[in-house]
Homo-oligomer: A and B are copies of this chain.
Amino acid sequence: MIRITREADYGILLMTSLTRAEGQPRSAAALARQCRLPLPMVSKILKTLARASFLTSQRGVQGGYSLTRPPAEISAADIIGALEGPLAITECSGESHEGCSRQDECEVSGHWPRINRAIHAALQSISLAEMSRPDAPRPLRFHSPSRTEIAGIVDRAV
């Protein structure tokens, strides 16, 4: 349907794990164990989140990562945005449509920004604090083997 990368999926998982740590720094290894994720992957993700300044890192022996802001002030959109990278929307995204041969044909035009905003709003409205609460609607997660799909949103919407 609409997909986010595994990195983003794991990222959210890790952030919720850190939320439950309540300010105490956690090492990448500890988090990897706790979430049963491959350590190198976890390291990579945490590094990225640190660079995006959602986490601070403490090097050295008793080091680790911890949240820089209260979990209520971090949204799903923040986390996903940090991890999926600014990765070139490539041509046809910003103001320059040079590359887009269909510019004229698609008066369809404005629909993507509209959809973008709708989805962004949806993701922004969900805070890390909320996601960390165990008493969620339904105890479900989506782990696909190679990708995580934000799925079922059409076929089995509630």
- Which residues of A are at the interface with B, using a C-beta cutoff of 8 A? 1-4, 12-13, 16-17, 34-37, 76-78, 80-82, 84, 86-93, 97, 99-103, 105-126, 130-132, 134-145, 149-155, 157-158
Contacts and interface: CB of A to CB of B under 8 A. Distances in A.
A112 B92 contact: no
Oligomeric state, in copies: 2
A100 B141 contact: yes
Contact of A115 (B89, B92, B97, B122): B122
A115 to B, nearest CB: 6
Contacts of A107: 134
Given A17-B108, A102-B143, A116-B153, 13 more contacts: A2-B119, A16-B108, A89-B151, A91-B144, A92-B144, A93-B149, A99-B145, A100-B143, A107-B134, A109-B134, A110-B136, A116-B152, A118-B125
A125 B132 CA distance: 28
Contact of A114 (B37, B78, B114, B136): B136
